[in-house]
């Protein structure tokens, strides 16, 4: 069992909900929290838009691509949020 904690930063890109999840002990978390409102959200929107065509991918294809990108990650992950 693990007691790992994360901070979640939800965002929406092209109508699809995502979560940018940052490990509580990540050296990036403090810097992210100091960014002006909306900046980290825009960075994440740009990242997923650069990674895949959200207009043509199914939710299953998006999840598979995020799984591939997140593989081996230790500090930050992008996950699908709740979607209809």
In a domain, 45, yes or no: yes
Residues 45, 57, 16, 10, CA torsion sign:
negative
| 54 within domain boundaries | yes
The reply to whether 75 falls in a domain is: yes
Residues 6+ apart with CB under 8 A from 45: 11, 12, 13
Give the range of the structural domain holding residue 35, as residue numbers without chain letter.
Answer: 14-80
Structural domain includes residue 9: no
> pTM higher than 0.85 for the full model?
yes
pLDDT above 60: residue 2: no
CB of 69 within 8 A of CB of 80?
no
In the chain, the number of structural domains is 1
The answer to whether residue 52 is domain-embedded is yes
Residue 4, domain member (yes or no):
no
Handedness of CA 46, 47, 50, 55 (dihedral sign): negative
Write the burial class of residue 20 (CB in 10 Å: 0-12 exposed, 13-18 middle, 19+ buried): buried
pLDDT for residue 3 is more than 70: no
Residue 32 lies in a domain: yes
pLDDT tens readout for residues 4-26: 799 999 999 989 999 999 999 99
The residue that leads in pLDDT, 65 or 54, is 65
| pLDDT tens, position by position, 24-52 | 999 999 999 999 999 999 999 999 998 88
Domain contains 3:
no
């Amino acid at each position: 069992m693990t007691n790992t904690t994360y901070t979640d930063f939800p965002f929406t890109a092209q109508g699809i909900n995502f979560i940018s999840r940052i490990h509580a002990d990540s050296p990036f978390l403090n810097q992210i929290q100091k960014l002006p409102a909306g900046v980290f959200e825009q960075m994440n929107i740009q990242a997923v838009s650069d990674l895949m065509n959200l207009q043509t991918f199914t939710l299953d294809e998006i999840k598979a691509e995020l799984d591939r990108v997140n593989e081996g990650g230790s500090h930050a992950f992008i996950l699908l949020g709740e979607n209809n």
